[in-house]
Amino acid sequence: MPKTALEKAWADHSRLWEKNRWVYPVISRRAGGLSIGINLNLDKRCSFRCAYCQVDRSVAAAKIPLDLKALEMEIITLLEEYEKNGLTNFANFKEIDLEKRQVRDICLSGDGESTLEPQFESVCSLMAKIQQIYSKYPLQLTLITNGAHLHLENVRRGLRILTEHRGEVWAKLDAGSEEWFRKINGSAISLERIQENLEQTSKDFPMQVQTMLCRIGNVEPSPKEIDLYLNRLGKIYNAGRENLKGVQLYGVVRQTASPEVTALPKEFLENVAEKIKENFSIPVKVY
């Protein structure tokens, strides 16, 4: 069945827009509209090697120092273009309904892990500044993160700024066991480190848990794996019930770097969602 214009936009999260280097627009399923993305990792630096990642890390990328002033101008340029025509001159968005093109957030999400950027705290300050300047829009400030560095003090200082007014941390939890964690996230960092960071973050900041459910080769998460995942999620829930805003379960919709990764049936995700709802009083969305 041919994809709709909206489905094509969801599947295409290109980091390129006009002459911008760091800032790009996407139609985001999870943001519920237009998301202004900030890619702080042009060099593809990341502490995970997720099997489902769409970034091709077999091709090296040059390190380009972050220019905060240039970053600010790129965000403003995009917002000014949005105010002119809703970005309808951008080919990817021409056929997207106005409702789905409403600007929703400024999001740190790129070709790697944003919290590895040395100027992370300053970037968060810049995002808060833009949010205040464009206060006529209900801009949420969002960090999408693998959670590996949330314990670092410079990162925590940035999160205090980011979450002061309509800001959230969207942190990854893709596994319940170390075995599946290695398979899906490919990181030398332990799952226990991730667990500790997510529990502490949920105590201190508004947070959502993001979980990718997919098949790798012919292997899918087993019932035992899902039980272990629920146990970890429960610990995060108990650590910060007031701050844990929800769980986002999502599957494969974009081309991944590894051909071994394939989508699970939507029913699989919905069954996991039902188990979460049975155990915890938090919103769960399936994408």
The structural domains of the chain, with segments of one domain joined by +, span 5-286
Contact present, 153 and 185 (Cβ < 8 Å): no
Q: How many CB atoms lie within 10 A of CB 225?
A: 18
CATH topology of domain 5-286: TIM Barrel (3.20.20)
Q: Which helix (H) or strand (E) holds 126?
A: helix 120-133
| pLDDT tens track for 191-226 | 999 999 999 999 999 999 999 999 999 999 999 999
| pLDDT tens track for 137-155 | 999 999 999 999 999 999 9
Share of the chain above pLDDT 70, in %: 94
Mean per-residue pLDDT, 66-75:
97
| pLDDT tens track for 103-137 | 999 999 999 999 999 999 999 999 999 999 999 99
Residue 6 has pLDDT above 50, yes or no: no
Reported as half-sphere exposure (CB side, CA atoms, 13 A), residue 249 has a value of 27
| Rounded CA separation 105/31 (Å) | 7
